[in-house]
Chains A and B, each alone.
Chain A
């Protein structure tokens, strides 16, 4: 059974600092890994999808890396802003297609 873990569960940083969010997974045959953002009481917003054949993916201030050998993915958010405050979740579909297994999320607070 694949497992996805995110540590820490919460983190607080001052505005302007770079954010580093960690995601660990047990599935060595990972197909891809997706990062999402969730604002309180809302649905999930897709941020980045990184394929197993890729080492990293970038979108604006966001950069996600994937290291299958160590079972880790990292999401970097450069120059954080108060609007980046949210819960960030990572998930992987395993071999079953769209059956995403989610980590518990990291709740981020960016202080002005």
Chain B
């Protein structure tokens, strides 16, 4: 069974631009969560989707948004990029809520 895939793997953007990251969960998994990882703050929860509905949202500004499609694939969008948004963005999927989460390889976003 294929693992969680994320595209693109690397992105370079400039301040003020917007970006969309994509995540394809493991086949059959309906829950998708997003995390931001930075050296200073570690791993922080962004949001979680289950069956196209946002179940939880972390403490991030409204510039960060996401959605989930009927095939469970998910996208997250960051508008008006800031230097501090440079991070590794990780997506995770699970079959059920509170089940083992399986992580993708991440998207490395660099904002110049």
Contacts and interface: CB of A to CB of B under 8 A. Distances in A.
Nearest to A100: B45
Interface stretch (A16-24, A30-38, A62-70, A78-86): A30-38
Interface in A85-112: 89, 91, 93, 96-102, 104-105
Interface in B34-80: 35, 42-45, 48, 50, 55-56, 58
Which of A93, A96, A102: most chain B CB closer than 10 A?
A: A93
Interface residues of A, number: 23
17 contacts: A34-B100, A36-B103, A41-B88, A43-B4, A45-B103, A46-B103, A96-B56, A97-B55, A98-B33, A98-B48, A98-B50, A98-B94, A98-B101, A100-B35, A100-B45, A100-B101, A102-B44
A67 B20 CA distance: 41
Contacts, number: 65
Contacts of A99: 33, 45, 48, 56, 58
Contacts of A100: 33, 35, 43, 45, 92, 101
A98 B35 contact: no
A104 B94 CA distance: 22
B105 A43 contact: yes
Nearest to B94: A98
Given A102-B42, A105-B42, A97 B105 contact: no
Contacts of B94: 98
A107 B35 CA distance: 20
A98 B31 contact: yes
Given A43-B4, A49-B99, 11 more contacts: A43-B90, A43-B106, A46-B101, A46-B103, A89-B43, A91-B43, A98-B33, A99-B45, A100-B35, A100-B101, A102-B43
Most interface-central of A34, A46, A99, A101 (chain B CB within 10 A): A99
Nearest to B49: A98
